[in-house]
Structure 1
Amino acid sequence: MMAEGGAKPVPVIVAMKGHPGSGKSTVACAIAAALRCPLLDKDDVRDCTLPLERVDGLAVGMLNELSYAVLWRVVERQVRLGLSVVVDSPLSRRAHLDALTQLPAALVVVVECRPGNEEEWRRRLEGRGAAVVEDYSSGWHKPKTWAELERLRDGYQGCTDYELGDVPRIVVDTTDPTISSEAIAVRVVEFIGSVLACGH
């Protein structure tokens, strides 16, 4: 995005944050389309590790961390090229955010998807879970039921609720029926513009 005063464009990393099924991917697609920039999805990398799940001795956690390591490397490459990117991942741990904020010459903005309507969130999650059962090659590692999501959240032990420090953040309700993903994207783009205008 263009910096104030016609200076060299500042690459922006739009980092999505939120639990599975919270609407991150839908909003991330809309933001990437609005900004006309690459969308890098951690799940695209994780999906490709399915053959490795069956290798004896490989821990599931190792494959998840490998997925993040690949994602961060690709993000870094795009930023070094001067490109803004949208990064779609849960951003569930502070270390994940730190990996992005340590990249040189980029502004990191967090878009936190926080569903206000839990029933709608559950409906979407379980609808997606049914689709995954039919096509196991994509999203096989995501929770498919509300019970699985609750186990996942319990396993995080509160680590997903961390302080962002001075990283700009906008929180959006992805279950509000009066706001489309495109409208959310417009709000996010305006927010980024205001952050850049403040000299971040």
Structure 2
Amino acid sequence: MSDSLELVDLLAQIRACDHCAPHLPLGPNPVVRASTSARLLIVGQAPGTRVHETGIPWNDPSGERLRDWLAIDHATFYDESLIAIVPMGFCYPGRGKSGDLPPRPECAELWHEKVLTHMPDVELILVIGRYAQDRYLGKSRATLTERVRNWRDVDPRYLPLPHPSPRNTLWLRRNPWFEDEVVPALRARVQAIFPD
């Protein structure tokens, strides 16, 4: 079986996964995109309710802001042959006191390494939010702000980002260096991967 067919089979297994069903208030609906030719990998947190309903990752205001940060259009963003989207939790985890609950930990343990082994051409991994950063960059006492501010010190294959949620608008206002320094660097790296 070719690597591409193995990945198709693996994605089918993931999309049929109900491992966490008892913990998911809206039931399982794993949202993941990957291909053997993907060159950019986006590792976010977990789908929100809108993404859960549509099955389309980043199909919300957070996705609009993320696409703006990347300076790529809708068609490129959703081209699975170019961009893989593998969140920490594949299903909507439910609502907590101050927003959505953390991603279920089982997804990353069960599936991430299996998916990543089928994507040898990935040049850049965006690790969005604390959970993704802890898994891919190692647990740290550094705050998310410190990790993002020190992005130049991270393995160049990775780029730590805050979540692009509208809830983080205040963070963006308080940290103007992010849009002044990190976003242009992110756009340059994406442009180098996907030149016109």
Fold shared, TM-score > 0.5 on shorter chain = no
Structure label with greater radius of gyration: 1
Q: Where on the TM-score scale, by shorter chain, does this alignment land: which range?
A: 0.3 to 0.5
Work out which structure has the larger RCO, using CA pairs closer than 8 Å and 6 or more positions apart in sequence: 1
The TM-score, its normalising length taken from structure 1, stands at 0.33
The TM-score, its normalising length taken from structure 2, stands at 0.34
